[in-house]
Chain A
Amino acid sequence: QVQLVESGGGLVKPGGSLRLSCAVSGFTFSDYYMSWIRQAPGKGLEWVSDISSSGSTIYYADSVKGRFTISRDNAKNSLYLQMNSLRAEDTAVYYCARVPAAGWYFDLWGRATLVTVSS
């Protein structure tokens, strides 16, 4: 069945790094744009980054630009988010999500992975 499974979250000190992964199954990964979206504890949703189906087009939210890097491996059906120079305000659950061809909304979501930035 269709599945997006995030991993790689954890506790990291301010200034540290983490690499999140999202393993996809049940659909042709290489056909879709993908996104990362985060949600701080008890807060709303914040879009983080997008990547095109080929990986050639990438967008970032201003809050993470220069610190986070999105990438994908279509051969491995996997999406990644390299997070460097982490700050306390990056603490959140991070979702990977699929972007359908019809528009830049998010029609499938993973179950998220928790990133906690604390000393």
Chain B
Amino acid sequence: KNQVEQSPQSLIILEGKNCTLQCNYTVSPFSNLRWYKQDTGRGPVSLTIMTFSENTKSNGRYTATLDADTKQSSLHITASQLSDSASYICVVSPTTSGTYKYIFGTGTRLKVLA
């Protein structure tokens, strides 16, 4: 069964610190892997999109990495800010019979404290 698992479930860090969120998936083959940020009460916002052949993608202080061999992705946040407090969701799009769907992880809830 295709699955996407994220860890940790929640995380609390101090402002200015770095953190890394993990995403393990069993989806294979897949078209692309995305990371989204979702603020409370709002829709998700795309942070990065990587195909299976890419191993890193940056968006400002956010850097996503992908290891297709171990089926792991991580999202590294540098110099965290209070505005980084949100849920971060990993999404994998499998390549199946010419169509595609989305398999979502349950997210990591990040809280940045002053």
Chains A and B form a bound pair: no
Where the two chains meet, the residues of A that have a C-beta atom closer than 8 Å to any C-beta of B are none
Where the two chains meet, the residues of B that have a C-beta atom closer than 8 Å to any C-beta of A are none
